[in-house]
Amino acid sequence: MNLFDTIRNTLVPIHKEGYIFVAAFFIASLILGYIAEPLFWVGLVLTLWCAYFFRDPERAVPQDDDLILSPADGRVSHVAMVVPPTELQLGSEPMLRISVFMNVFDCHINRSPVRGQVSRIEYRPGQFVNAELDKASDDNERNGLVIDTRHGKVGVVQIAGLVARRIVCWVKPTEPVNAGERFGLIRFGSRLDVFVPAGGQPRVSVGQRAIGGETVLAEFGSAKGPIISRRT
């Protein structure tokens, strides 16, 4: 492997959603530099952070329909039995909810936690309180997806945070999705809730770091052998 290949494999591509923001940060840096040279370097650091925020790395996604994968990079902030949001129409009984909180340094590409078909997408306006708080699930702006799977309906909710003011979702109802497939992002700092059907057992603990598309949040069944992965 030559130096060019090493550099290419080290650098993580930027998702196209971030191009306009990186360009805007850089132009702002040039303007600030024209006013005062030290401000250019401050702006350049922020431009590099913006590029880092919109990074879109490949992930080795386990190919197993009995697994619920993390939809994002971040810290597991809640693992509890909670009644799902009414707009998802998942019933009034508590379901296992696993929440992953993303800070402004985490990769914010959102990935499907399961393979299935999107049957419902519901957006709800709301507040922008700290997404780490439990009440953010009810009070904050959010976008919910329901994915039909072999184990039942899985709910995935994108929740805006204190800094995040824009939820992006690329999939539509009736579309099939694969586990680990990119379906959206949230700008800048936020949280995702995953509602697991009955029978799914948690495989993470509060405080644990999760990697989107790779970390197993919950599992159906047990005593499994090696899991096959693929890059996506």
Task: Please list the active-site residues.
Answer: 190
Residue 101, preceding bond cis, omega within 30 degrees?
no
**Percent of the chain as helix, strand, coil, to the nearest 5:** 20, 35, 40
Integer Cα distance of 46 and 8 in angstroms: 23
Integer Cα distance of 102 and 218 in angstroms: 19
Contact 91, 147 (CB under 8 A): no
**Considering only CA atoms, which of 155, 20, 29 is closest in space to residue 85?**
155
Contact 83, 94 (CB under 8 A): yes
Integer Cα distance of 39 and 29 in angstroms: 7
**Considering only CA atoms, which of 77, 71, 68, 86 is closest in space to residue 197?**
68
Give the CA distances from residue 91 to residues 11, 132, 138, 192, in Å, rounded to whole numbers and listed in that order: 44, 25, 16, 20
Span between the terminal Cα atoms of the chain, in Å: 22
Could you tell me the two tokens for 167? 């939820």
